[in-house]
Homo-oligomer: A and B are copies of this chain.
């Protein structure tokens, strides 16, 4: 019971440099072969590390990836207040575009999102992060615009998020065409126009004859 336990010391401590090497290797490997083909052996090889080193830190491949996901997804997105919906949107689009311009991100994100569709554990972590992200946009960005009077109070947050995030994601992650920074203002302006219209009730809509 009252065992005297000496704290691990000396060589008996996880070396952070190795943990980092593994993390980096996982990202590389994830981008190169995807989650489906991700193998611990390959990660170990790439990191110049033994498999045991990995299994000591994470129980399984799933654990490993889940940990990476929460580490990356946990970051809060800073949503600066520029004083106008258009300005806020430009900033947000620039941030997203910059993120998706990174080769690793552009490959890993769609891959994990696809994997989430069949892996409940990944889905949970990823959807949580995604929901945070979307809620943040909806609450902060749209919320501010409503306060300013730029948008109607009964704007549908979810629909708004789709209109904001969809185009840039489609362009960069699916269509995989570059999005020049100079195009961002135009896209932002278009989205503002869309949002102004999107506030009307969901069901009722007149059809022109």
The answer to whether A33 touches B36 (Cβ under 8 A) is: yes
Q: Chain B residue with minimal CB distance to A160?
A: B190
In the bound complex, do residue B176 and residue A200 qualify as a contact, i.e. CB atoms below 8 Å apart?
A: no
Which of B130, B185, B193 is the one whose CB lies under 8 Å from A194? B193
Quick check: A190 and B186 within 8 Å, CB to CB? Answer: no
Q: Which of A181-209 contact B (CB under 8 A)?
A: 182-183, 185-187, 189-198, 200-203, 205, 207-208
Residue-wise, chain A 145-188 has the 8 Å CB interface mask toward B (1 for contact) of 00000000000101101110111111100111100101101110
A86 sits at the interface (CB 8 A): yes
Is residue A37 contacting chain B, with contact meaning CB distance below 8 A? Answer: yes
Interface membership of A117, Cβ < 8 A? yes
Q: Is A134 an interface residue (CB 8 A)?
A: yes
Contact of A113 among B31, B110, B127, B197 (CB under 8 A): B110
Q: Which of A116-141 contact B (CB under 8 A)?
A: 117-118, 127, 130, 134
| A148–chain B nearest beta-carbon distance, Å | 12
User: Does A34 contact B208, Cβ atoms closer than 8 Å?
Assistant: no
A170 to B106, CA, bound (A): 15
Residues of B within 8 A of A67 (CB): none
Q: Which of B130, B177, B192, B203 contacts A158 (CB 8 A)?
A: B177
- The reply to whether A118 and B186 contact each other, CB–CB distance below 8 Å, is no
Q: Residues of B contacting A113 with CB < 8 Å?
A: 110, 114, 174
Given contacts A159-B186, A171-B166, contact A114 B117 (CB under 8 A): no
Chain B residues near A174 (CB, 8 Å)?
113, 130, 169
Q: Mark A1-45, 1 if CB is under 8 A from B, else 0.
A: 000000000000000000000000000000111111100000000
The residues of A with any CB-CB pair to B shorter than 8 Å are: 31-37, 84, 86-87, 106-107, 110-111, 113-115, 117-118, 127, 130, 134, 156, 158-159, 161-163, 165-171, 174-177, 180, 182-183, 185-187, 189-198, 200-203, 205, 207-208
List the 3 shortest-distance A-B pairs measured between CB atoms, nearest first.
Answer: A36-B36, A166-B166, A166-B170
